[in-house]
Amino acid sequence: MRRIDTVGNALRYFATVVVVLVAGTLILGQLGISVAPILATAGVAGIAIAFGAQSLIKDYFTGFFLLVEDQIRQGDVVEIAGKAGEVEEVTLRYVRLRDGDGFVHFVPNGEIKVVVNRTRTHAYANIDVGVPENTDFDAVFKAMRDVGAALRADPKFGPLTLGEVEVFGVDRWELWGVMLRCRMKTLPHERDNVRRELNRRLALELQSRGLKTA
């Protein structure tokens, strides 16, 4: 549905431009103003400004393929041209984003080289837990799995998850100890909500089991 809305809005934008141009030509004709000289002048002027319009043409071509290849939809959270936020509008010329601070960014499609779509099909809530070297790692891993199972059974957060907690084990060494990592598969727009709740529950669970964190 979101793809249909995105493509529909882009086509309406294009159709509006065409209708305005055709309507303007017809109105001038009804007023007795010959459009032939205007078109001739436009043709000459078009040659002069063609070199300056290359970026605009690039915007439209890139926008066309963004839509055809379904890289971006309205409502997606993406990172493009160094800007990240929720997509509010996609046209053949630009993408309008609203970032986490509420600021709006208009990104010309010609500036888009790589699209990082953070909300397509699913996401992962990654959890890092720092612990001292002498910690019982297996006890921490068990706490991760137990907390994940409880979250899956929760009537509020369970529907937001798409799988059990995956425990990756020891991720890396630090000067103060080691970093343990796990993750949970979630609905694409719910990653941060699940991550925050998983962090909260895991911190409480480790405290209740007497397991220290670094």
Same domain, 60 and 109: yes
In a domain, 181, yes or no: yes
Same domain, 8 and 107: yes
Same domain, 143 and 185: yes
107 or 34, which is more confident: 107
Instruction: Determine the Cα angle at 35 with ends 33 and 37, to 5°.
Output: 105
Number of domains composing the chain: 2
Q: What is the CATH number of the domain that holds 133?
A: 3.30.70.100
Boundary-marking domain end, from 115, 149, 176: 115
- Beta carbons of 78 and 72 less than 8 angstroms apart: yes
- The confidence score (pLDDT) of residue 56 equals 77
Lowest mean per-residue pLDDT among 58-67, 138-147, 162-171: 58-67
Same domain, 6 and 107: yes
- The confidence score (pLDDT) of residue 68 equals 86
**Phi, psi dihedrals of residue 159, rounded to the nearest 5°:** -65, -15
Q: What is the CATH number of the domain that holds 69?
A: 2.30.30.60
Same domain, 90 and 137: no
Residue 128's pLDDT band, with cuts at 50, 70 and 90, is very high
In a domain, 214, yes or no: no
Boundary-marking domain end, from 82, 115, 148: 115
Which helix (H) or strand (E) segment is 40 a member of?
helix 36-49
- Beta carbons of 117 and 189 less than 8 angstroms apart: no
- The confidence score (pLDDT) of residue 127 equals 96
Same domain, 70 and 27: yes
Residue 161 domain boundaries = 123-208
Same domain, 101 and 16: yes
Same domain, 106 and 158: no
Strands (E), 41-186: 77-80, 83-90, 94-98, 104-108, 115-117, 123-131, 166-174, 177-186
Same domain, 97 and 147: no
Model confidence pLDDT, tens digit, residues 3-19: 555 555 655 666 666 66
- The confidence score (pLDDT) of residue 48 equals 47
In a domain, 95, yes or no: yes
Q: Where is mean pLDDT largest: 37-51, 57-71, 167-181?
A: 167-181
**Helices in 69-182 by DSSP H: which ranges?**
137-153
Same domain, 150 and 89: no
Residue 84's pLDDT band, with cuts at 50, 70 and 90, is very high
The two structure tokens encoding residue 107: 């990104």
Boundary-marking domain end, from 97, 115, 133: 115
Same domain, 91 and 182: no
In a domain, 11, yes or no: yes
- The confidence score (pLDDT) of residue 149 equals 97
In a domain, 213, yes or no: no
Same domain, 75 and 144: no
